[in-house]
Amino acid sequence: MSRVVIAGGGLVGSLLSLLLQKRGHQVFLFEKRPDLRGQQKDVGRSINLIVTSRGLNALKAAGLLNKALALTVPVTGRMMHSVNGELAYQAYGRDPSECNYSISRSELNRFLISESARTTENIFFEHHLDAVDFENKTATFNCKGVNQKWEYDILIGADGAGSVLRNLMHQDSGCLNQTTYLGSDYKELFMPLKNGKPALEKNALHIWPRGSHMLMALPNLDGSFTMTLYLPREGQENSFSNLKTEAAVRTYFEKYFPDALNLMPTAVQDFLKNPQGILGTVRTKPWVMKESVAVIGDAAHAILPFFGQGMNCGFEDCMVLMRALDQHGENWAKALSTYDLEQRPNADAIADMALENFYEMSDKVGDQNFLFRKKVEAWLEKNFPEDYRSRYGMITYTLIPYRLAFEAGLIQNEILGELAAGVSSVEELSLEKAKMLLHEKFHPFLKKNSIQLGRFRP
């Protein structure tokens, strides 16, 4: 069994530590921050996440599914809020049991660290990976000003979007190490209970789409909502750089989110006080070096949050690596190579789709053509439940590789375009034409790639 050093005890590092311990490896987990356990909520930084099929699958493999689900709130659809307060609801799945799960990132992290600590004492906080000697296989961690050298057989960087290990790999081997910033940042805000009850429909993701900027809300277990405001950093009237005073922030909220502002008594203060997070896409190639060093999760592929898949993809990375270790009888050199070749194209695909979804969520959700296509797609899914699954459904409710879901989406666009052409209501759609299009365009693709559209049930 190998001595595995993991840098980064975030979501992916702590889950990976659990999965590798289960296989009998000797795992050492190093996290630069202090121990989360016993700390208060990470106010201003505790974004909520959506856990979907891939995340659930990995939690199940770690034996943690039911305990983790108990920390979540089911989210069955999107609720769109217009400026004048009108609501439009779109269910996510075919029925309410096909849903996403909202969870606080820091709660999930705390939970995974606690679970990991049940089986090992080798978790070290306030240890910052600083340097690696790739030839002699030693990693240097700095703890409160003191450097410690740790030998490893395998070194894995789960140290997030700004990964030190990825940068060191790049310096050593010149691997691709590219970060593309979106130009929009985010801030966490908060909506408390109203008269002891949730102020909004609890089992929904709420979106206030306003073109280049938008507000989102995800439910917490107690019925409050964690809100995220996405806004251009600068260069526009509605941007973080233009909203610096209490008066300017209040005027902005009154203009664009009046209904939400009424339910968020501390919105203006939270906006001025809470940290501003940066959003970007990280691409790395390869993910593996010298047969013994690898990056995983955001360290390998930070993506935009607009498909709710960053962590889900990171958890899937862990599953792909576990499968590769199975396949190669714990031969790490071979397993790491398989992990890189298999999962990197999937991460690239979800990175592209997350960017597409940014435009969809911020811009198109108010566009009539786009909304009609969504209706046509819902009609297709309803009438052909065995033969059609939207790209969104494939990503959130199945384990179909992201790369194939991306390709399927291109074919689906053609089909939806042909079906919707010259039609102005769902009642006018032709079942015969739909059947023919699916048969000619979609089924051959499914067959060629051995894709089963059935839902993943944890």
Ligand X SMILES: Cc1cc2nc3c(=O)[nH]c(=O)nc-3n(C[C@H](O)[C@H](O)[C@H](O)COP(=O)(O)OP(=O)(O)OC[C@H]3O[C@@H](n4cnc5c(N)ncnc54)[C@H](O)[C@@H]3O)c2cc1C
> Does position 288 bind ligand X by CB under 6 A?
no
- Which run of H or of E encompasses 139? strand 138-143
Pairing state of beta strands 123-124 and 26-30?
Answer: parallel
When the beta carbons of 105 and 375 are compared against ligand X, the nearer one is 105
Task: Give the pair of three-digit tokens for residue 213.
Answer: 């900027």
When the beta carbons of 164 and 438 are compared against ligand X, the nearer one is 164
> Does position 112 bind ligand X by CB under 6 A?
no
Q: Is 30:16 a contact under the CB 8 Å cutoff?
A: no
> Does position 49 bind ligand X by CB under 6 A?
yes
Among 28, 29, 31, 182, binds ligand X (CB under 6 A): 31
- Which run of H or of E encompasses 322? helix 310-327
Among 8, 93, 219, 393, binds ligand X (CB under 6 A): 8
Among 158, 361, 394, 400, binds ligand X (CB under 6 A): 158
Distance CA(354)–CA(165), nearest Å, equals 25
> Does position 160 bind ligand X by CB under 6 A?
yes
Name the residue with the smallest CB distance to ligand X: 10
When the beta carbons of 313 and 404 are compared against ligand X, the nearer one is 313
> Does position 308 bind ligand X by CB under 6 A?
yes
> Does position 314 bind ligand X by CB under 6 A?
yes
Residues 6+ apart with CB under 8 A from 337: 288, 291
Minimum CB separation of residue 28 from ligand X in Å reads: 12
Task: Give the pair of three-digit tokens for residue 449.
Answer: 């790639």
Among 112, 139, 155, 164, binds ligand X (CB under 6 A): 164
When the beta carbons of 31 and 377 are compared against ligand X, the nearer one is 31
Residue 334, classified by CB atoms within 10 Å of its CB into exposed (0-12), middle (13-18) or buried (19+), is: middle
When the beta carbons of 277 and 366 are compared against ligand X, the nearer one is 277
> Does position 11 bind ligand X by CB under 6 A?
yes
How far CA 437 is from CA of 194, 410, 432, in Å, comes to 49, 14, 9
Distance CA(426)–CA(445), nearest Å, equals 26
Minimum CB separation of residue 351 from ligand X in Å reads: 11
Minimum CB separation of residue 426 from ligand X in Å reads: 30
